[in-house]
Chains A and B, each alone.
Chain A
Amino acid sequence: MDLYLPIAEMSVNALVIILLGGGVGFLSGMFGVGGGFLTTPLLIFYGIPPAIAVASSATQITGSSVSGALAYWRRGQVDLKMGWVMVLGGVIGAGIGQIVFRALQKIGQIDVTIAIIYVLFLGIIGALMLREALGALRLARAVAAGAPRPPTRLRRHVPWIAALPGKTRFYKSGLYISPLAPLLLGVGVGVLTVIMGVGGGFIMVPAMIYLLGMSASAVVGTSLFQIIFVTAATTLLHATSSKSVDIVLALLLLVGGVAGAQVGVRAAQQLRPEKLRLALALIVLAVAARLLWGLTVRPAALYTLYGQ
């Protein structure tokens, strides 16, 4: 079924886009990640211009985060105070990111920058996840063989974060820290949201646990809450500045994503979490490798055209 995208100005197979959204939705339901880090590269592989892939993917993430955030909200697992601080940081970061995005677009380096940042982030995170998942699998096997389970140690704070001024209490997160720490974290992820078209949950969640030391119950809900607002702000920035949001593309992805996520959640209950994390690590590394290959192999066309 061919469909003409009004902003991307190209004809796509709607079924392929819906299936793409569905596949990413399946993974996101399975692993509890937003999946923006997969949507954007896959859209680029399909032939959607990178700037439009990034902007429309952000719009799609807004929608797919809502249902997750509402579920956590009902269970009281969203720290609003923490969430708003991060939203503030995220919006500031998105503003900075937009300036960088426009500048790179002007000098014609946006496509390659998006690809390089993706390779770096996906490579590092994929490698870390792989190491963690393999370690967990080995541990599970050792425990099953009768070895004693090592005590889990929890470090409360990273020293330099504890040293930041103006400490305040975040009750649901179980923290007494400076709001500057989550604010800065929000800024960093906001920049990435604009440039990569991701929600940033895959960076935010580990950072909230390991850097801020938030109590695990509030982490995912608060992250999703923050993602809704920051991706919404990103959509507005892209829409008004680079005019690269394709609403038809975003909605196609959403339709697939919502359905895929339901299947993914059910599939996840059949599998062991360590194996899930191992699978996700391998997928992330595969996407990074594909992008790296695209950067280094001699392109079919050495000359590329840029209109106004």
Chain B
Amino acid sequence: MRPGTLLAALGLAVAMPSTLSAAPPTTLITDISQGRIDINTTFKGADLLVFGAIQYPAGAVPDAPPDIAIVVRGPTEPVTVRRRERVVGIWLNTDSVRFESVPGFYAVATTRPIDDLADDRITAIYEIGIRNLQLAPASGASDAETTAFERGLIAQKQRSGLFAEIAGGVSVTRNVLYRARITIPAAVPVGDYTAEIHLIRKGRVIASSTTPISIGKSGFERWIYVMAQEHSLAYGLAAVAAALLAGWIASIVTRRS
């Protein structure tokens, strides 16, 4: 279990008693436009629509609009961040810091800016907001250094659209229905994703739901990828054969013309 999940579980345990006291708790019903995103030959990225409804106890819809945070995250992986420095006029990779658990994709859409939703403790517990991600840096570097590398990592991920924060990205209709559009870029890593929806009231998370999403290569792309990874010798031989065949065909065509 990752430290993040453990903390989240603890947070949930702390938050529970207050919600349990009211007879039936508020629940979230969630659906996603695509439970599975296929990466095929023409994949250019995708738009994921996360939507659903808030089920209030006894159908008592409050007058105040609810706050909602929708977090879509991909599988975590270790990432090494390298810093370039100028050495005799050339920009070389020099120092590096390894981050043990970096989500391959992380997007959070909220009804309002994250700072207005809840205090730092709550947003940290639920990992709402990019700055609250627990990236688990593993290095002997000083805190200031590690922070600099972390900023570099986040900036790079944001530039490629793999980390995103969309304040006001969740729209709520009649205080019951909510929806958000999350943009998935073409360079997205494959794997098992989750969409977590948190209902926040008065700075407390009062209901959460989690929906799985899977992103995978399909058809031809998948076949090529699996071949390259698992049958690499056969893949290499096939690549050589294809190249030789193409060259040979070209030679025949050339001779004729």
Which residues in chain A, 77-123, are within 8 Å of chain B measured between CB atoms?
108-109, 111-112, 116
Contacts A247-B224, A303-B156 known; A62 to B232 CB distance under 8 Å?
A: no
Contact A305 B244 (CB under 8 A): no
Contact A6 B240 (CB under 8 A): no
Contact A65 B247 (CB under 8 A): yes
A27–B223 alpha-carbon span in the complex (Å): 34
Secondary structure call for the B interface: helix
Contacts A299-B91, A306-B79 known; A240 to B39 CB distance under 8 Å?
A: no
Contact A245 B236 (CB under 8 A): yes
Contacts A62-B244, A258-B246 known; A235 to B79 CB distance under 8 Å?
A: no
**Nearest residue, chain B, Cβ from A245:** B239
Chain A's nearest CB lies how many Å from the CB of B221?
4
Whether A168 is near chain B, meaning CB under 8 Å from some CB there, is no
Q: Chain A interface: which size bin?
A: 35 or more
Chain B's nearest CB lies how many Å from the CB of A238?
8
Whether B18 is near chain A, meaning CB under 8 Å from some CB there, is no
Whether A145 is near chain B, meaning CB under 8 Å from some CB there, is no
CB contacts (< 8 Å) of B96 on chain A: these are: 108
CB contacts (< 8 Å) of B56 on chain A: these are: none
Contacts A9-B187, A258-B250 known; A306 to B239 CB distance under 8 Å?
A: no
CB contacts (< 8 Å) of A237 on chain B: these are: 236
Contacts A239-B239, A251-B246 known; A308 to B91 CB distance under 8 Å?
A: no
A254–B221 alpha-carbon span in the complex (Å): 19
Contact B242 A304 (CB under 8 A): no
Whether B65 is near chain A, meaning CB under 8 Å from some CB there, is no
CB contacts (< 8 Å) of B247 on chain A: these are: 62-67, 254, 258
Whether B181 is near chain A, meaning CB under 8 Å from some CB there, is no
Contact A239 B232 (CB under 8 A): yes
Contact with A along B215-257 (1 / 0, CB 8 A): 0010011101100110011011111101111111011011001
CB contacts (< 8 Å) of B228 on chain A: these are: 6-7, 239, 243, 245, 247
Whether B152 is near chain A, meaning CB under 8 Å from some CB there, is yes
Whether A10 is near chain B, meaning CB under 8 Å from some CB there, is yes
CB contacts (< 8 Å) of A238 on chain B: these are: 236
Whether A152 is near chain B, meaning CB under 8 Å from some CB there, is no
CB contacts (< 8 Å) of A307 on chain B: these are: 77-79
Spot the interface stretch: B9-17, B25-33, B81-89.
B81-89
Chain A's nearest CB lies how many Å from the CB of B148?
8
A133–B171 alpha-carbon span in the complex (Å): 68
Binding site for B on A (CB under 8 A): 2-4, 6-7, 9-11, 59-60, 62-67, 70-71, 108-109, 111-112, 116, 228, 232, 235-240, 243, 245, 247-248, 250-251, 254-255, 258, 261-262, 295-299, 301-308
* 4 shortest interchain CB distances as A-B pairs: A303-B152, A66-B247, A239-B236, A63-B243
11 chain-A/chain-B pairs, Cβ below 8 angstroms: A2-B42, A2-B44, A4-B44, A66-B251, A239-B235, A240-B236, A251-B243, A301-B156, A303-B81, A303-B149, A303-B152
